[in-house]
Structure 1
Amino acid sequence: MSNYEDCLKHLDSYISARVPVIGMRTIEQERALRLLREAATQPRRSSLPFWIYTRATGLRDLRTNTTVIDDRSLTGAMDFAAAQFTSRANATVVFVDPADLETDTPVARHMSELARLAGNNMGSIVVITDSPIWSGLQRLGMSLHLDLPHPEETYETLRAFLSDHEGIIPIRWDESDTRRAAEFLRGVTEAEAVNLMATVAAKGAIEQEDVLGLAQAKDRIFSDLTGLERVQLKDEDYTVGGLTSLREWLQRKHRLMHEDLRDTKLRPPRGVLLVGVPGCGKSLSAKAIAHEWQLPLYRLDMGSIHGKYLGESEGRFREALGMADRVAPCILWIDEIEKGLAGRDDGSGVPQRIIGQFLFWLQESDSRAFVVATANDVRSLPPELLRKGRFDELFFVDLPDSQDRREIIELYHGLYLKRRPEPEQLDRLVDLSEGFAGSDIAAALHDVGAEAHLSGGVENLKPSFIVDTFANTVPLSRVNPEQIEEIRAWGRERAVPAGRSAMAAATPGSAGPRRIVFMED
């Protein structure tokens, strides 16, 4: 049962029971009013009076929309309601978004007295608002929460829109496309869904590729999100060298991300945790996934959610995850996740509660927010985060092998020097870059590109300049070999290798089981 149907069921029972105050929380007034009209137009209520007050139209009859009194003030509407509750039974008055009901204010107390008057003569007050209602008023009755449309409701909205435009413009959607679009529009209001569809239809046709375009158009609704940073992609973010196993795994998850899973027990892909050597492409992978999947990329800054007041950090984190659900489908990038989850022995208990919130969200959320979390200091990750079922998979990103280094060198050589390297030179650079991370290779070729620009072109560089640059680059694996080896030893035992064969050969003398991904044909 959808939330709308559930609310209609409860509203119907509250009106029948003549509950004095019915508080309805929602940001969609139009859907709430449609809900009320459905309840008010039941045949068994045809003789019962229903009035509605809004600040724009004043007090009107709910069924006929005729004006009841000329005074459009809230006070005038409340005085009218008091007179009706005193003189007749079974009267219902609806107040839409009245001001000053959140706390103990004169208006809230006036409404409370009105509710007591209604209760004495089988009357009811319905308050529609997007804000909390003062507890002294709300405890006199019952409350409802009308959530945003369920995908099934959005599907019906889209079907109605397509039916209205059939024969007017070309429509190349089938039912599965409409179902996918409804899933992609999870988290938007009914009005926003119609506006997005109208934007698509305004170009003169509704094409199959517009299904994915809706997800991108939806992203423009949420321009200022608490706790989330919208990441704008650059051309160089689109390609990742190496990491072959990870890329193949992601291709399969991409298909599942867009499948209609309603008739299965499956949930959309949850995400991936990338751990490993710094500079080997973990963060770049999040950007590449967003581009490849054509989904918006949001970065959750774990450092920005911490506040100095009790409960502030947890509230910010919960709000950020809620916004991720609302903007889905999207890629949610959590960089260096261990920094935000550090301090498990902190006496305040904040890190433990944040970890608990995050694990619960990973387990229970059914939104299509695909998490790409990265970590360098794997030792500080809470063990419960690594359990199978939290993320879809845990990949270890190791130093690239010779074949991956060849691919990365070709990639950045073309990016910074606008040409492919000569085969002999490429072989030499692959040998010289033994122990390099992807970022080391990128930095070296960036320096070469900068020098070529200053020299007037690649042809003006000394033939040995690129080789000398690589030979003089000291990678992190040589600067801090103990730390890097410790990270690599952890990855060999506990994670799936992200590269082609970087983890295929264990260090001599190492033992113990390794996790292997078997890719189906």
Structure 2
Amino acid sequence: MPNSRDTQDELRSFLKARVPLVVVRTSENTRAIDLVQQASSEFRSMSFHIHSRAKGLFEVGSQMPVSDDRSLVGALDFATSTFAARSNANFIFTDVDDIETDSGTSRHLAEMARLAEERQGAIILIASGPVWSGLGRLGMSVTLDLPELDELTYIVDSLVQDHRAVMPIDWQHDEIRRAAEILVGVTQTEAINALTTLLAKGSLVREDVETLSQFKDRIFGDQAGIERVKLVDSDYSIGGLQNLREWLNVRHELIKSDLSNSPLRPPRGVLLVGVPGCGKSLSAKAIAAEWRLPLYRLDMASILGMYVGVSESRLKEALEAADRVAPCVLWIDEIEKALAGGQGDSGTTRRLIGQFLFWLQESRSKVFMVATANDVSSLPPELLRKGRFDEIFFVDLPDEDDRREILTLYFRKYLSYDPSPYLLADLVALTEGFAGSDLDAAVHEIATAAFLNHTGVPSEEFIKDVIGNVVPFSRTNPEEVESIRAWGRDRALPAGRTVAAGPVDAGRGPARRIVVLN
């Protein structure tokens, strides 16, 4: 991906070579015009004129208009007469319509390019879309991509330094670099607008860096295949998962660090497998909340299409969208439903897997993937190979200590009180084999009954009766749970604290591994 300096060097080379037609492909007209004007400043023996709809035709150096006729037709006529009268004339045109196909305008420009070639002149077209092949083959083209990290760092630093004397600013090098990383993927104008909006409040504090993610989210809106997940304060609360949390702390340091001058690449992400209802999906929210990064969900159901090639195209668009909104956390829930192997799908699944793995391998953006899976046996082996994800963790049923902590949190959340130690001990025994979602549902049902009956805190007998009537997933599907746990014990790291190996009863978890929302 060429940066602005590379684009400027190419433009300079084309002008030196007197290429008669140069097409600059970009979505940023203003930035492209600035680059062309900078390149033209080195060729003082040549004349340069530029045409835009708003200002008409004017001379680049003096900025003086050359005609009262602001139309494109008038500018083309002036250019034609100039090419006929003298050599080394250059004309820059922006916002020219009807040049994508064989049209009157594109043919007119082709004839002018041939005339320019005879007189050592050049036409420079700044276009956001493709150019008719009959026109484009007469010259060369160059692409001006969006500002890269170093350029955005310069833009942010310049704006910050310009305002440091007139308002309190806490941003130093780390905050400036972090702000630039967040703004990667936006145009120069959008970046300046976001920063000046922050400056308009009269100060810059360190916490303002995260606010730029909100500006970026507004710029991109709904991206193809990914949706923004709003985080609330309760998403910061996490219980258990000690091994996973310690591992994530190291990755968080990498996400925050400037890796531009390092051979290291940003963390790829983590695959969480385990028993349904034990907090895998909540982990994605907790990671994004703790790291203060936006959370996006890759909706695999919207990716899959009924026609050959549609699914692959949608997945490519979704992953490119994730790169644009980086740094972020990208959550894929139940990844096996989209990437599990199947018969009679015309090879779509294999192509999706290949495209997904290629992105995991090649992407250098700070997109931290959190993928969850229940039926891990259906996942393709190549997805589980070491190096695809940074690590695979197994999330199991909560043990006694976990259930005691989770029950206490849910009683505080739904009933605003702490159960007595004696009641809590009885409930821990009654909830053997419960997942975190089972505990949530049980306490919520108790709180609902208390609210409807206006009874305040319900009696201990009522609480025990309600929980005693709950049949958890681990008891209705013991074979499935045991199969999942057998796979996890041998092939993944425990997300919670490690315990001694040995037989595990169906419905009983060996480790502390539950995310709980307050």
TM exceeds 0.5? Answer: yes
For residues 83 and 315 of structure 2, the distance between their equivalents in structure 1, rounded to whole angstroms, comes to 46
Q: 1:468 aligns with which of 460, 465, 468?
A: 465
The correspondence for 1:70, drawn from 68, 71, 88, is 68
| Equivalent residues of 1:233, 1:287 under 8 A apart | yes
1:35 counterpart = 2:35: yes
Given the alignment of the two structures, is residue 505 of structure 1 paired with residue 501 of structure 2, yes or no? yes
Q: Tell me which residue corresponds to 1:88.
A: 86
Partner residue of 1:513? none
1:480 paired residue among 471, 474, 477: 477
* Displacement of 1:264: 2.3
1:353 to 342, 347, 351: 351
> 2:24 aligns to what SS in structure 1?
strand
Instruction: Please name the residue that 1:518 is paired with.
Output: none
Q: 1:104-253 alignment to 2 at 5 Å?
A: 104-253=102-251
Per the TM alignment, residue 346 of structure 1 is displaced from its structure 2 partner at its CA by 4.7
Q: What is the CA distance between 1:398 and its match in structure 2?
A: 1.2
The structural deviation recorded for 1:235 is: 4.5
Residue of structure 2 equivalent to 1:423: 421
Q: Which runs of 5+ in 2 are unaligned?
A: 506-518
8 Å CA contact 1:216, 1:295 repeated in 2: no
Contact 2:147 2:188 in 1 (8 A): yes
Q: 2 CA distance for matches of 1:351 and 1:105?
A: 42
Q: Distance in 2 between matches of 1:348 and 1:11?
A: 46
CA pair 15-168 structure 1, distance change in 2 beyond 3 A: same
Map Cα deviations across residues 265-309 of structure 1 (whole Å, 9 max, x no partner). Answer: 222222111111111111111111121112111111011022344
**What are the superposed Cα offsets for residues 144-191 of structure 1, whole Å, 9 maximum, x if unpaired?**
111111111111111211221121011222222222222222112222
Tell me what 1:269 maps to: 267
Find the aligned partners of 2:323 and 2:290 in 1 and give their Cα distance.
Answer: 21
Instruction: Tell me which of the two structures has the higher relative contact order, counting C-alpha pairs closer than 8 angstroms and 6 or more residues apart.
Output: 2
Amino acid at match of 1:70: D
Q: Which amino acid counterpart does residue 500 of structure 1 have in structure 2?
A: R
Q: Over aligned residues, Cα RMSD in angstroms?
A: 2.0
Give the number of equivalent residue pairs. 505
Give 1:345 shift: 5.0
Closer/same/farther in 2, CA of residues 143 and 351 from structure 1, 3 Å limit: farther
> What is the TM-score of this pair, normalised by structure 1?
0.92
Q: Which amino acid aligns with 2:501?
A: A
Give the C-alpha shift of residue 443 in structure 1. 0.8
Could you tell me which amino acid in structure 1 is paired with residue 407 of structure 2? I
2:361 corresponds in structure 1 to: 363
- Taking the aligned partners of 1:194 and 1:187, their CA distance within structure 2 comes to 13
8 A Cα contact 1:492 1:506, kept in partner: no
- Following TM superposition, by how much is the alpha carbon of 1:455 offset from its aligned partner in structure 2, in angstroms? 1.9
Cα shift at 1:39 = 0.9
Alpha-carbon distance in 2 for matches of 1:408, 1:463: 18
Task: Show the counterpart of 2:514.
Answer: none
1:384 alignment partner AA: E
Distance 1:193 1:162 in 2: 13
- Contact preservation (8 Å) 1:90, 1:121: yes
Per mean C-alpha deviation after superposition, the further-off stretch among 230-239 and 135-144 is: 230-239
Deviation per residue, 1:105-164 (Å, 9 max, x gap): 332232223223323332222111221222232222211111111111111111211221
Alpha-carbon shift at residue 324 of structure 1 (Å): 1.0
Kindly provide the amino acid, as one letter, of the partner of residue 285 in structure 2: K
- Please say which of residues 234-243 and 284-293 is displaced more in the overlay: 234-243
Shift of 1:64: 1.7
Distance in 1 (CA, whole Å) between partners of 2:171 and 2:377 is 49
1:464 partner SS: helix
Of 239-248 and 55-64, the range deviating more from structure 2: 239-248
1:467-507, Cα deviation, whole Å (9 max, x unpaired): 11221111111111111111111111111111224x64343
Residue 52 of structure 2 corresponds to residue 54 of structure 1: yes
Q: 1:374 to 1:24 in 2, by over 3 A?
A: same
State the shift of 1:451 in Å: 0.7
Q: Which stretch of the first structure deviates more once superposed, 492-501 or 132-141?
A: 132-141
Question: What secondary structure, in the 3-state scheme, does the structure 2 residue paired with 1:203 have?
Answer: coil
Who is 2:401 aligned against? 403
Q: In the TM superposition, what is the alpha-carbon distance from 1:214 to its structure 2 partner?
A: 2.6
Identity of aligned residues (%): 56
Contact 1:242 1:407 in 2 (8 A): no
CA distance in 2, matches of 1:228, 1:252: 27
Q: Decide which moves more: 304-313 or 285-294.
A: 304-313
Residues 1:397 and 1:199: Cα distance change in structure 2 (over 3 Å): same
2:486 is matched with 489
Q: Aligned-pair distance for 1:508? A: 6.8
Shift of 1:26: 1.3
Separation in 2, partners of 1:395, 1:156: 40
- 1:163 and 1:234, CA in 2 relative to 1: closer, same or farther beyond 3 A? closer
